[in-house]
Amino acid sequence: MNCSDLDLLLAGPAAGRTLPAAADSHLRTCPRCRALIAALDQSIPVDSVKTEAITAIEQRLLENLAPARALPAKKLFFAAFLLIFVALMAVGIAHLGAFAWAELGLGRRIMISTSLGASAALLGYSLVQQMFPGSRHRISPALLPVVTFVCLTLILAALFEVGHSGHFIREGMPCFEAGIPYAIPAAILFWLILRRGVVLSPWVTGGLCGALAGLIGVSVLEIHCTNFDLRHILVWHLGVGVSGALAGLFAGWLGGVISRKRA
C-alpha cells in the first residue's frame, strides 16, 4: 500500500472503519500519512443551532404548510423531452423535405441517426437530472454539451469529405436560417417542462437545454440538406446546435443573475 491507496481508503465509504493491516503497516513507515490521519481525526465540534433560530425556521415553514405532490417519475420527463425532439424534427422534415436522406447510403444513414439519437438521449437524460437536486450524473452536465458536439464533429468528419463549395457563406446561411426556427420553439417547450423541477445551476441547465434544442435543427438539416461538403456541415449544420448551446448558456446565466437580484 502507498499514499495514493490510503487516499482512496480515506475517500471511500469507510468512515469509522478499522484500517486494514496493509494500511497500518504503511502508516508505521510513512510520517506524512500519519500526520494526515491525525489531522483529519481531530474532533470537529458540531455547532448547536440557537433555539430561536430553529423556532424562526419552523414558524416560517409551517405557517403555510400544504401538501406538495412529488413530481412524476424521471422517465416520464425524459420521454417528454424526446417526444418534443422527435415531433419537431418530424415537422421540420415534413416542411423542408428529406432530400439528403434519399441520397445518403445506408451506412451513413445509420451512423448519423445513431449519433444524433444518442446525443439527444444523453442531453435529455442530463436535463431531467437537472430538475431533481442531488441526482446522479454519469457525465458531468457542464461538460456534456462540449463532449456531444466534439463527438458529433468527429463522426461527421469521418463520414463526409471536404468538397469544393463555391459560395461558402451564401450557400451556408440559408441552412443556418432554416435550422434555427426549429430550435426556438423546442427551447421554449423544454423550458416549460424544466420549470416544474428546481433548476439549481441555471447556466448549466441553459446550456444543456439549448444544446438539445439546437440538435433538432442539426437533425433536420442533416436529413434535408444535400450539400455534403464537410466544412458546410460542420459550420452551418452543427453550428445551429453550438449556437443553441451558447444561447442557452447565456439565457441561463442571465436568468440566474435576475433571480439573484430579485432575491
Partner 1 sequence: MELPGAQSGAADSQQELQNCMVRYQNADPDAARVLIRQLSPALLRFFSSQVATRSESEDLLQEAWLRIHKARHTYRPGEPLLPWIYAIARHVRVDGYRRRRRISQREIAAETLPERASDDGATTQLPGFDALMSCLPENQREVVMLLKVEGLSLEEVARVTSSTVGSVKQKAHRAYKRLRTILTQESTAANAASGESA
Q: Which of residues 124-183 bind partner 1 (CB under 8 A)?
A: 131-142
**Span of 36-44, 103-111, 117-125, 224-232 interacting with partner 1 by CB under 8 A:** 36-44
Q: Give the shortest CB-201-to-partner 1 separation in angstroms.
A: 7
Q: Specify the residue, 77 or 85, whose C-beta has the smaller distance to partner 1.
A: 77
**Span of 23-31, 76-84, 171-179, 211-219 interacting with partner 1 by CB under 8 A:** 23-31
The residue within the footprint of partner 1, chosen from 18, 29, 106, 166 (CB under 8 A), is: 18
Site for partner 1 in 52-71 (CB under 8 A): 53-54, 56-58, 60-62, 65-71
**C-alpha cell of 102?**
434519399
Q: Give the shortest CB-44-to-partner 1 separation in angstroms.
A: 6
Q: Give the shortest CB-243-to-partner 1 separation in angstroms.
A: 25
Q: Is residue 161 helix, strand or coil?
A: strand
Q: Give the shortest CB-174-to-partner 1 separation in angstroms.
A: 39
Distance CA 109, CA 101 (A): 7
**C-alpha cell of 260?**
439573484
Position 253 contacts partner 1 (CB under 8 A): no
Position 29 contacts partner 1 (CB under 8 A): no
Distance CA 240, CA 210 (A): 10
Q: Is residue 126 helix, strand or coil?
A: helix
- C-alpha closest to that of 132 among 221, 201, 178, 188: 201
**Span of 1-9, 82-90, 98-106, 148-156 interacting with partner 1 by CB under 8 A:** 1-9
- C-alpha closest to that of 212 among 188, 177, 232, 176: 188
SS (H, E, C) 174-243: HHHHHHHHHHHHHHHHHHHHHCCCCCCCHHHHHHHHHHHHHHHHHHHHHHHCCCCEHHHHHHHHHHHHHH
How many other C-beta atoms are found inside a 10 Å radius of the C-beta of residue 70? Answer: 5
Q: Specify the residue, 47 or 102, whose C-beta has the smaller distance to partner 1.
A: 47
The residue within the footprint of partner 1, chosen from 11, 29, 105, 170 (CB under 8 A), is: 11
**Span of 16-24, 87-95, 163-171, 219-227 interacting with partner 1 by CB under 8 A:** 16-24
